[in-house]
Amino acid sequence: MLGVFQSEGSHLRNLHDLLAAYVAYQPTLGYLQGMSFIAGILLIVMDDIYTAFIAFATLMNRPSFYAFYSLDESEFATYFGAFDALLEEKIPKLSHHLKACRLDSKLYLFDWLFTVFSRSLPLEVDLRIWDLFLRDGEAALILAALGILKMYEDQLLLYDFDHLASFLTGPMPESMSPDVLTECMRSFDLSTAHIKEALQKARSLVAESDNKRTGQLSPPSAYDPRAPVETAQDSSESSRSKWSLRSLRVKQVNGSSNRNNSSEMSNTSKFTSFRRKNALPGSNASNTTNGITPPWSHDVCLEFPKRKML
Tally of structural domains, the chain? 2
Distance, in Å, from the CA atom of 14 to the CA atom of 45, rounded to the nearest integer, reads: 13
pLDDT at 122 over 60: yes
Distance, in Å, from the CA atom of 180 to the CA atom of 241, rounded to the nearest integer, reads: 44
Cβ neighbors of 128 (< 8 A, separation 6 or more) are 178, 181, 182
pLDDT at 9 over 50: yes
Mean pLDDT of the chain: 76
Q: Are residues 163 and 56 in the same domain?
A: no
pLDDT at residue 285, rounded to an integer = 40
* Between 195 and 261, residue with greater pLDDT: 195
Do the domain assignments include residue 216?
no
* Between 150 and 302, residue with greater pLDDT: 150
pLDDT at residue 250, rounded to an integer = 37
Q: Are residues 8 and 79 in the same domain?
A: no
CA distances from 296 to 31, 63, 77, 111, 305 (A): 9, 25, 29, 19, 19
* Between 48 and 84, residue with greater pLDDT: 84
Q: Are residues 184 and 66 in the same domain?
A: no
* Nearest in space to 32 (alpha carbons), one of 304, 309, 302, 305: 302
pLDDT digits (tens, 9 = 90+) for 195-239: 999 999 999 999 988 888 777 654 544 444 444 544 444 444 444
Q: Are residues 185 and 96 in the same domain?
A: yes
pLDDT at 102 over 90: yes
* Between 277 and 34, residue with greater pLDDT: 34
Tallying the residues shown for the chain, one arrives at 310
pLDDT at residue 279, rounded to an integer = 40
pLDDT digits (tens, 9 = 90+) for 234-256: 444 444 444 344 444 433 334 44
pLDDT at 183 over 50: yes
Give the domain CATH number at 100: 1.10.472.80
Do the domain assignments include residue 208?
no
State the first-to-last Cα distance of the chain, in angstroms, to the nearest integer: 48
Q: Are residues 107 and 174 in the same domain?
A: yes
Q: Structural domain of residue 107, as residue ranges?
A: 73-201
Do the domain assignments include residue 308?
yes
- State mean pLDDT over 82-105: 96
Identify the weakest region by mean pLDDT among 6-10, 57-61, 78-82, 300-304.
300-304
pLDDT at residue 216, rounded to an integer = 62
pLDDT at residue 73, rounded to an integer = 87
Q: Are residues 121 and 137 in the same domain?
A: yes
* Between 139 and 302, residue with greater pLDDT: 139
Distance, in Å, from the CA atom of 292 to the CA atom of 303, rounded to the nearest integer, reads: 10
